[in-house]
Amino acid sequence: MTFDQLGLIDPILLALQEEGYSTPTPIQAQAIPSLLEGRDLLGCAQTGTGKTAAFAIPILQQLEKVRKENPGSFQHRNRKDIKALILTPTRELAIQIEDSFKAYGRHLSLQHLVVFGGVSQHAQTEGLKRGVDVLVATPGRLLDLINQGFINLGHIQFFVLDEADRMLDMGFVHDVKKVIAKLPRQRQSLFFSATMPPEIVGLANSILQNPVKVEVTPVSSTAETVDQMVFLVDKVDKKSLLNHVLKDKSIQRALVFTRTKHGADKVVRDLEKTGVRAAAIHGNKSQNARQKALSDFKASQIRILVATDIAARGIDVDDLSHVINFELPNIPETYVHRIGRTGRAGASGRAISFCDEEEKEFLRDIQKLIGRKVPIQSEHPYPLENQEVEKPQRQGAPAKKASAPGVKTVPPSSSNRTDKAKSWFRGRKPSV
């Protein structure tokens, strides 16, 4: 399958060629033809699958078609009508989505703008006054600008709700519903979520009409291209182990995950003491500091980017070869999201996890979810005394059957994992 076979127009084909894309990813191949026909879409896909291009390309192509057929609708008064709205939970994702629209639409004369909170609105309102065809927004700032009269959603023809599960998790669901209430009924709607818990399915049903359903890389199937390993190590030795691991010069850049903002800052301080250039990206950092850290990382000015889960959501860095879990997440799905930052679009990647005694429970949950054992790397200077991950067998209890590698073991619905995942969705305030 090539992009030519998807019926794309020349200016977009050229832009894709310039981006170095030769073949569509599975979600692109599945979604683009239906979207070009005007169908609604329900996409179960996480970042790293190429989903941004899967929605950006058909929206650009359809907008260009309307512009060519009816140039008047893009001029004068109507010039200010926003025609496509992409709603996404985080500032980083919003910026990356707009970058994608810019890249794929570089040979079209459509106007894009991104709006998000945490920064002055002046540049955003000036951009809106000049006229915008495609608006990428986070929910809070969007509503704010609507309430101030800078944005009118009455002419939206294309609506994308991106990372819907994350919206729910971050407590944005009411804002999202308020936005949807302002959209015209006649529109094409696209809905993306990495997971489909019942709340999300309900939200999707309220937005979509007879959607095409596309599902790629379900959250439990870790990208085949990611090579995973775990180091069992005492909590106090993790700092030294990280230095040890980073002696490997083949790790040119790595994204390191911590559970808390405080933990992220501490890892950066410790790394800098040993001469490793690092920066942290989390919700306590200003928008400028986050952007600078990300661009320095992309430009290889810093070797290590330390991030919390929410801040890292959607970080899109080409050629990210290593993800290091300095701490394991207590939600196994988060592990899959984290390691999905590497091994993107077919590239190979490596995920290294540090696991202390207390985190063995999280590792067991992760292994259950991904249906395989993460190989233990015991050749290192700080091994945990007890290298066993499984719980010790009770005296007299029958031996547990080991599951074959690659075979998914579905945990019983009453398991800890499921309970934790549920309570996470319901009430947990994310640590940004």
Q: Please give the residue ranges that form the binding site for ligand AMP (CB under 6 A).
A: 21, 24-25, 28, 47-53, 316, 318, 344-345
Residues 6+ apart with CB under 8 A from 416: 361, 365
Q: How far is the CB of 47 from ligand AMP (least distance, A)?
A: 4
Among residues 107 and 298, whose Cβ is nearest to ligand AMP?
Answer: 298
Decide whether 27 or 271 has the Cβ nearer to ligand AMP: 27
Q: Which is nearer to ligand AMP, 37 or 319 (CB)?
A: 319
Task: Tell me the residue ranges of DSSP E strands in 53-202.
Answer: 84-87, 112-115, 134-137, 158-161, 188-193
Name which of 322 and 368 has its Cβ closer to ligand AMP: 322
DSSP state of 430: P
Task: Output the smallest distance, CB 111 to ligand AMP, in A.
Answer: 21
Q: Closest separation between CB of residue 425 and ligand AMP, Å?
A: 22
CB of 329 to ligand AMP, least distance (A): 20
Q: Please, which residue, 47 or 157, has the CB nearer to ligand AMP?
A: 47
The residue (of 21 and 326) whose beta carbon lies closer to ligand AMP is 21
CB 160 within 8 A of CB 192: yes
- CB of 93: closest distance to ligand AMP in angstroms? 9
Residue 114 sits at φ, ψ, to 5 deg, of -120, 135
Q: DSSP letters along 178-197, please? A: HHHHTS-SSSEEEEEES---
Distance CA 126, CA 9 (A): 31
What is the CB neighbour count within 10 angstroms for residue 346? 11
Measured torsion, CA atoms of residues 293, 298, 304, 309, in degrees rounded to the nearest 10 = 70
Least distance from ligand AMP to the Cβ atom of residue 32, Å: 10
Nearest to 350 by CA among 220, 239, 206, 225: 225
